[in-house]
Amino acid sequence: MQLIPRHDPHLVVRSAGALTVAVLSGELDLVLVRRLRPELDALVREADALAVDIRPLAFCDATGLGLLARCARSARARGVHWQLVCDQPWILRLVRLTGLDDLLAPGPVLCPLPAPLSSGPRARAEHPV
């Protein structure tokens, strides 16, 4: 994985091929959301696949959940593969209570990207219609 420099110490971004991983740390509240929104918006625009790892967060409020929901919606609207990596029971409970579990689809570990569907002649021969 290649480290991609960013301006905020609460955001570490790495890239491995098509997958971009953004790791958030600290307290995801109004102050941090204001600083990270432009960075995360840029990642959504630039990435083919985006995983946001929030396991290091010490705190997340409704504003933080709103930023994550915004990223997930934008990623899906662009056809970008989206993952939210979270293993903290208190954040998972917030996600569930706010009804964002379908949109954010949090998981405890970073999952590899699904294999791309090939539309070449070989794929068509292996999967006849």
Of 85, 80, 56, nearest to 68 by C-alpha is 85
| 15 Cβ contact partners less than 8 Å away, ≥ 6 residues apart | 1, 2, 4, 21
pTM for this prediction: 0.84
Strand partners, 81: 49
One-letter amino acid at 28 equals L
Q: What are phi and psi of 74, to 5 degrees?
A: -65, -45
Q: Where are the domains of the chain?
A: 2-126
pLDDT in tens, 2-52: 667 667 899 999 998 889 999 999 999 999 999 999 999 999 999 999 999
pLDDT in tens, 57-106: 999 999 999 999 999 999 999 999 999 999 999 999 999 999 999 999 99
How high is the mean pLDDT of the chain?
87
Sign of the CA dihedral 70, 71, 73, 77? positive
Widest Cα–Cα separation across the chain: 54
SS3 103: helix
Identify the helix (H) or strand (E) that includes residue 49. Answer: strand 49-53
Say if residues 43 and 56 touch (Cβ distance below 8 Å): no
The CATH class that applies to domain 2-126 reads alpha beta
